[in-house]
Structure 1
Amino acid sequence: MPLSRFTVLDLTRVRSGPLAVRQLADWGANVIKIEAPEAVDGSKGMGGERDGSDFQNTHRNKRGITLNLKEPEGRKLFYALVAKADVVVENYRPDVKARLGIDYESLKAINKGIVLASISGFGQSGPYARRPGFDQIAQGMGGLMSVTGLPGQGPVRAGIPLADLSTGLYAAIGILIALLERDVSGEGQWVHTSLLETQIAMLDFQATRWLIDKERPGQAGNNHPTSIPTGLFRARDGLLNLAGGGESMWRRICAALELDDVVDRAEFSSEGLRSKNRDALNAVLQERFIQNTVSHWVTLLNEAGVPCGPVYRVDEMFADPHVAALDMRLPVHHSRLGPLDLLRSPVSLSRGERRAEPTPERGEHTDAVLKEFGVTAEHIASLRAQNVI
């Protein structure tokens, strides 16, 4: 598989870290998920129930071992894995790495080619570095909640853990960049990002509206903040989602809706005026859209080259024939839970298939993995007796 030559040691928990590692696991990296032995930590921890849909989707395509990093023998064993690995990924608070002896300088001394990827809530330095990080806090401090929701409604969190998800993706990109650079330099490096940094980066044009234009973005609801007409309209049997910014798109919309008397009205004659008179423009379109069904308008407008679509609930989304054709399900068979449908990676390659293995049980592959790294059966038995594994 595309990434099968890389071995990744996964120390991550909850979502952002496991998601970063999953990007590599899906494409064949030899990912070894490291958890504390149950005798040492019997709690489920954060990340949901092990048999739950979230945990099963998040930790697929990995092999699982148990290892107690708080014990000297456990760290010694971890260092033996580091010596032959390519990547270590962790999302502890910054001070925990040094306490456990898994900071970059310590790992580099063992393997100069190692890439350490660190994910935190607020970064590796600065006044808030040691604060615990959580997606919703990053959404608030990173500006997202201030631009989400209806005008005047007050801040609203996104319906998905956007800071967690984007941090996992950025971290995976950083890991791949470091591995590509290692091909030239022969050395690994420390890759780090945080929920707050990536949430700010994900603001994109909303952030640069302030940085460059000194314009403070606000809530626009279902309207696009700068592209008009874009938003939701009520049709006869449901909601229509329309994206029609720009002069040519405006004229296509009016032609398709037979609004010849509207297209050149003075108050709608430029993008700036359409933005200024957004409410009046939306009222005109709403009066037209209520006269027919969502499917009628979706067909008509798409044929005219205007982006639009229905607004689905999750079950309706999976029932859509095009979504079915995209085949976003990743079927796996869990030895205990049976057949499961997970979410496949949205990336497709012309060569190289995705891996489809279920999430491992805690420590399911401990013996097999340690033997691959040269640990004898007798030593494994001794380590288990000491609750090191």
Structure 2
Amino acid sequence: MPSQSSSVATANSGPLSGIRVLDLSRVLAAPWAAQILGDLGADVIKVEQTTTGDDTRAWGPPFLQDGDEATFAPYFLACNRNKRSIAIDLAKPEGAEIVRKLAAQSDVLIENFKVGGLAKYGLDYVSIKKAAPNIIYCSVTGFGQTGPYAPRGGYDFLIQAMGGIMSVTGPAADTPGAEPTKVGLPAVDLFTGMYAAIAIQAALRHKDQTGEGQHIDCALLDSAVAMLANQSATWLMGGPVPQPMGNAHPSIVPYRTFPVSDGHIVVAVGNTKQFIALCDILGRPDIGADPRYQSSPGRKEHRDELEAELTQEFAKWTKDSIIAAMSQNDVPGGPINTVDQVFADQQVVARKMLEPTPSTAGTELPLVRFPAILSASPATIRRAPPQLGEHSVEVLSQVLKLPADEIAALCKRGVIGADK
């Protein structure tokens, strides 16, 4: 029978303690979902191919050395903590049967194969449901299980383009050298993973109430469309087709980067009170009192004139001096940090976002904690990202209760791979 969730999770176990997740996914979107569940206390068993494992194990350099031979690549390190790795050859009938048996002992299965790709192994939803009638089976694909694009493979960059994100990102169209630009991180993969994790938890709640499992169909393109948010709402309400605006905001002014004497800062003024305070800081109360700028629609209408005046004033300040003055007067703004500066920022340090975690080999791995802080049932990092097949023997003996000689025979036949 599948594992049963605890009615009350302790502070050390996490709110999803007692939930077992079988993670057949690789790369980023679906592994990100599985990692979120693992951070929240679920027991996540990552199923990998015996020879290469997750594709992202090889996505370097750089590589972080772990012990004498093994290494970690950045992508894999970022989305595979709190998981146990079992290496299985799915193409062997015995291997597929092991997955079905593990599914029967699990609450959730996550996969991101192409539509229909697992059917040939007897590991699609219909087949798995026979072995695990109440399973929550989450499929993450580029375009979903239905529709004319369903058979296609989907990648973050492609979906950022097709989903409209690149059409509103980057310099304004009339800027020299402007072209459609992707977000500087795999935003669609990450948001799809988050949507999948939310959907899985909703399905777990439904299962608690009814005992019924279900199939979750999560698509990168659907997530990208949902993420258009205010941009799509503007057009759907009869507004113009949104265009790229660089660092400017389509509705709020001033809400962009400004050059100062030693670099750039971000100004994020959201209302008229903050705008007047900013003008006072800059020594230009006359701008704050200008009738053209007394409302958000007015500031938007006269954006070019207003921002030109503000740009002249910001140029008289250094980054540190203007940011300090804005902070003291409750005007939102701040520096544009590089990644190294992010982890040196006193707020990030105070919040302990970086959580060094030792691997099995003793290497300290630089991991970033789950961002939400739950006061009664906090997320934890209990396991470092695993080496390929690190837990094959452990999972087969503990979860499926297989004897040692049977496990050894499976390894000898190449059905199972086990980390030495």
Per the shorter chain, which TM-score range? over 0.9
User: How far apart are the structure 1 equivalents of 2:307 and 2:212?
Assistant: 57
In the alignment, is residue 251 of structure 1 matched against residue 276 of structure 2?
yes
Aligned twin of 1:351: 376
User: How far apart are the structure 2 equivalents of 1:300 and 1:90?
Assistant: 50
In the alignment, is residue 367 of structure 1 matched against residue 377 of structure 2?
no
Aligned twin of 2:407: 380
User: How far apart are the structure 2 equivalents of 1:263 and 1:301?
Assistant: 15
Aligned twin of 1:262: 287
In the alignment, is residue 32 of structure 1 matched against residue 45 of structure 2?
yes
TM-score between both structures, scaled by the size of structure 1: 0.95
How far apart are 1:245 and its partner, in Å? 3.1
How far apart are 1:278 and its partner, in Å? 1.2
Q: How far does the alpha carbon of each residue in 1:131-178 deviate from its partner, in whole angstroms, 9 at most, with x for none?
A: 111000000000000000111112001000001000111000011000
Aligned twin of 1:107: 128
**Amino acid in structure 1 at the alignment position of 2:55:** G
**Amino acid in structure 1 at the alignment position of 2:188:** A
Q: How many residues align?
A: 386
User: How far apart are the structure 1 equivalents of 2:401 and 2:267?
Assistant: 60
Deviates more, 1:373-382 or 1:342-351: 373-382
What's the secondary structure of 2:256's corresponding residue?
strand
Correspondences of 1:147-166 after superposition (within 5 Å): 147-152=168-173, 153-166=178-191
Deviates more, 1:98-107 or 1:154-163: 98-107
Correspondences of 1:280-319 after superposition (within 5 Å): 280-319=305-344
User: How far apart are the structure 2 equivalents of 1:77 and 1:66?
Assistant: 11
Correspondences of 1:323-334 after superposition (within 5 Å): 323-334=348-359
Correspondences of 1:125-204 after superposition (within 5 Å): 125-152=146-173, 153-204=178-229
How far apart are 1:211 and its partner, in Å? 1.6
**Amino acid in structure 1 at the alignment position of 2:171:** L
Q: How far does the alpha carbon of each residue in 1:270-310 deviate from its partner, in whole angstroms, 9 at most, with x for none?
A: 32232122121111111111112112211212222211111
Structure 1 281/300 Cα, relative in aligned 2: closer, same or farther at 3 Å? same
> Contact 2:53 / 2:87 at 8 angstroms: preserved in 1?
no
> Contact 1:115 / 1:178 at 8 angstroms: preserved in 2?
yes
User: How far apart are the structure 1 equivalents of 2:307 and 2:296?
Assistant: 14
> Contact 1:331 / 1:356 at 8 angstroms: preserved in 2?
no
Give the superposed CA RMSD. 1.6
**Amino acid in structure 2 at the alignment position of 1:52:** A
Structure 1 280/25 Cα, relative in aligned 2: closer, same or farther at 3 Å? same
Aligned twin of 2:27: 14
How far apart are 1:94 and its partner, in Å? 0.9
> Contact 2:143 / 2:221 at 8 angstroms: preserved in 1?
yes
User: How far apart are the structure 1 equivalents of 2:143 and 2:367?
Assistant: 30
Q: How far does the alpha carbon of each residue in 1:192-226 deviate from its partner, in whole angstroms, 9 at most, with x for none?
A: 21111111111111111112224210011111111
> Contact 1:330 / 1:356 at 8 angstroms: preserved in 2?
no
Q: Which runs of 5+ in 1 are unaligned?
A: none
User: How far apart are the structure 2 equivalents of 1:214 and 1:94?
Assistant: 36
Q: How far does the alpha carbon of each residue in 1:95-126 deviate from its partner, in whole angstroms, 9 at most, with x for none?
A: 20322222222222222221001100011111
> Contact 2:397 / 2:404 at 8 angstroms: preserved in 1?
yes
Aligned twin of 2:73: 52
What's the secondary structure of 1:32's corresponding residue?
strand
Correspondences of 1:205-244 after superposition (within 5 Å): 205-244=230-269
**Amino acid in structure 1 at the alignment position of 2:288:** V
In the alignment, is residue 77 of structure 1 matched against residue 98 of structure 2?
yes
User: How far apart are the structure 2 equivalents of 1:142 and 1:65?
Assistant: 35
Aligned twin of 2:9: none
What's the secondary structure of 1:96's corresponding residue?
coil
How far apart are 1:232 and its partner, in Å? 0.7
Q: How far does the alpha carbon of each residue in 1:334-380 deviate from its partner, in whole angstroms, 9 at most, with x for none?
A: 23471121111101111234124211111111111101112122221
User: How far apart are the structure 2 equivalents of 1:79 and 1:260?
Assistant: 70
User: How far apart are the structure 2 equivalents of 1:188 and 1:43?
Assistant: 28
TM-score between both structures, scaled by the size of structure 2: 0.88
| Structure 1 runs, 4 residues or longer, greater than 6 Å off | none
User: How far apart are the structure 2 equivalents of 1:337 and 1:142?
Assistant: 43
